[in-house]
Amino acid sequence: MGHWCPEWVPGPFPATRRRGPERAVIELVPKELFFTKGVGKHREKLTSFELALRAAGIAACNLVRVSSIFPPGCKILTKADGVRRLKPGQVTFVVMSDAATREAHRLIAATIGVAIPRDRKLFGYLSEHHSFGENEETAGDYAEELAAEMLATTLGLDFDPDKSWDEKKEVYRLSTQIVRTQNVTQTAVGDKNGLWTTVIAAAVLVG
């Protein structure tokens, strides 16, 4: 029985077709992405998630979650510019974190961190983190730290995992190999009337 491989796959990214002896391989490497976040509240959990997607501006897309590589040379767009690039029904790849609760006054967080190498021909890392009881700064710093550590191990940098994030950032800064870390984080407190509260944070790959 033969293997089926498409000649062309529709999507938001330029497709490069590479032919081998037996099949064609489609390479989809995004050149741009944007970060977004949102909160939704509703008596139904699924609807609260939908409302969070709407707040983030990505509800009209068919979202496909992917793991966490920041593509070489990828440009970061503003949320407004990124959302304008989307079309209803479009298959859209995202690195996404989400958390939900229906416990009144419970603090939840969803965050995406990114670490980008100075050499833009190399890839970086995106990290997902969700938590309960962490404020925006704590959750965001943790996501940045996760992404930076993954990139540091790829680059062969020495670091002490027991050091604080501030100490690690200084090591990375002095190394000159990691040029940038940042995060996008959404927090919310569980609805006092027991509605489902959902938070999301996402890196959306658009072109």
Q: Please report whether residue 12 resides in a domain.
A: no
In a domain, 128, yes or no: yes
Each residue's pLDDT tens digit, 183-202: 999 999 999 999 999 999 99
Structural domain including 172 reads: 30-205
Q: For 17-21, 88-92, 122-126, which range has the lowest pLDDT when averaged over its residues? A: 17-21
DSSP type of residue 4:
P
Residue-level pLDDT at 185: 98
- Taking the CB of residue 109, how many other CB atoms lie within 10 A of it? 25
Measured between alpha carbons, how far is 87 from 19 in angstroms, rounded to an integer?
Answer: 30
**Quick one: pLDDT band at residue 175, thresholds 50, 70, 90?**
confident
Residue spans of beta strands (DSSP E) within 20-102: 24-28, 32-42, 62-65, 69-70, 75-77, 91-101
| pLDDT confidence tier of residue 2, bands split at 50, 70 and 90 | very low
- Beta carbons within 8 Å of 154's beta carbon, 6+ residues apart: 125
Residue 41 lies in a domain: yes
CB atoms within 10 A of CB 76: 16
Residue 9 lies in a domain: no
Q: Does any domain span residue 111?
A: yes
- Within a domain: 4: no
Q: What is the mean pLDDT of residues 120-147?
A: 96
Predicted pLDDT at 105:
96
Is 6 part of any domain? Answer: no
Longest Cα separation, the chain: 62
| Whole-number pLDDT of residue 19 | 56
Q: Is 145 inside a domain boundary?
A: yes
pTM value is 0.84
Q: In total, how many domains does the chain have? A: 1
pLDDT tens-place string over residues 34-72:
999 999 999 999 999 999 999 999 999 999 999 999 999
Distance of CA 88 to the CA centre of its chain: 20
Residue 149 in this model has a pLDDT that exceeds 50: yes
The reported pLDDT for the residue numbered 128 is 97
CATH number at residue 174: 3.50.20.10
**Separation between Cα atoms, residue 40 and residue 178, nearest integer Å:** 35
Task: Determine the Cα–Cα distance for residues 163 and 83; give it in Å rounded to an integer.
Answer: 38
Q: Check residue 1 and give its pLDDT.
A: 44
